Amino acid sequence: MITRRGLIVTGGATLLTGCDAWSGSPVLLSAEEAHRYLQRSITGRAALAREFRPEQRSPRFRTNGTANPDTPEYAALAAGRFADWRLQVGGLVRQPLSLSLAQLRALPQRAQITRHDCVEGWSAIGKWQGPRLETILQRAGLRDGARYIVFHCADVFGRRRIPYYESIDLVDAFHPQTILAWAMNDAPLGIGHGAPLRLRVERQLGYKHAKYVMRIEAVASLAGIGAGKGGFWEDIAGYEWYAGI
């Protein structure tokens, strides 16, 4: 019996219980359907990324992309050790939020030691800690129609000052390992790695892990954001929006 998913295998058939079952009669799955269901929960998008032991962490974890956002606004926040920084949560939510670092640290936390894989061909293992994105989205309350979560970052690129941003769908937003990390390797996140807050979305490549997150926006469509492809590198270099690993 797999209690976590409420899946009970009884002889030839399988009973699917839990939330779904409360509203109606239990669903009877054939052996083949049960197998497919189990297979999905192990290998599908709900599957967990591998987690490592503390001693497996990389001695050096390089930074990539922006290592210090070049704007007066960010410089002022960093000078004040992010005491005036607030994470804004808005868009298709019932209750817009404005959260300080202290408030984010007071939420239930998750810590995980995972491998970061950059599309440029390097990897590093580090420990990340912060609240789950799901916890924050639940407090804000997604409205009907919300389909993507957009992360607006503090850093800008080039002479046209194009802001970095990224987006994920709700499957990844509610994935248990999707967190907003304020700590790395048991210390507050350094500026190079995205202080004060960066996304960890462990089933996707490095460029999806938005650093310097300032604002989270729930949207129905990515069409109105940036050039419409769902992320900075997606817009300017044709990177895949879904970068699953």
Ligand X SMILES: Nc1nc2c(c(=O)[nH]1)N[C@H]1C(S)=C(S)[C@@H](COP(=O)(O)O)O[C@H]1N2
Q: Smallest distance from the beta carbon of 129 to ligand X, in angstroms?
A: 14
Residues 105-124 that bind ligand X (CB under 6 A): 118
Choose which of 82, 148, 182, 212 interacts with ligand X (CB under 6 A).
212
Choose which of 127, 132, 175, 209 interacts with ligand X (CB under 6 A).
209
- 141 or 190, CB closer to ligand X? 190
Choose which of 8, 15, 16, 118 interacts with Mo ion (CB under 5 A).
118
Residues 192-211 that bind Mo ion (CB under 5 A): 206-207
Per rule CB under 6 A, is residue 77 in the interface with ligand X? no
Q: Is 83 helix (H, G, I), strand (E, B) or coil?
A: coil
The helix (run of H) or strand (run of E) holding residue 85 is: none
By C-alpha distance, which of 110, 105, 86 is closest to 97?
Answer: 86
Per rule CB under 6 A, is residue 127 in the interface with ligand X? no
Q: Is 74 helix (H, G, I), strand (E, B) or coil?
A: helix
User: Exposure of 116 by Cβ count < 10 A (0-12 exposed, 13-18 middle, 19+ buried)?
Assistant: buried
- CA 101, 179, 214: angle at the middle one, nearest 5? 45
Residues 174-193 that bind ligand X (CB under 6 A): 192-193
Amino acid letter, residue 226: G
Choose which of 211, 229, 230, 243 interacts with ligand X (CB under 6 A).
211
Backbone phi, psi, residue 130, to 5°: 170, 180
Where on the chain is the footprint of ligand X (CB under 6 A)? 62-66, 118, 153, 155, 164, 192-194, 206-207, 209-212
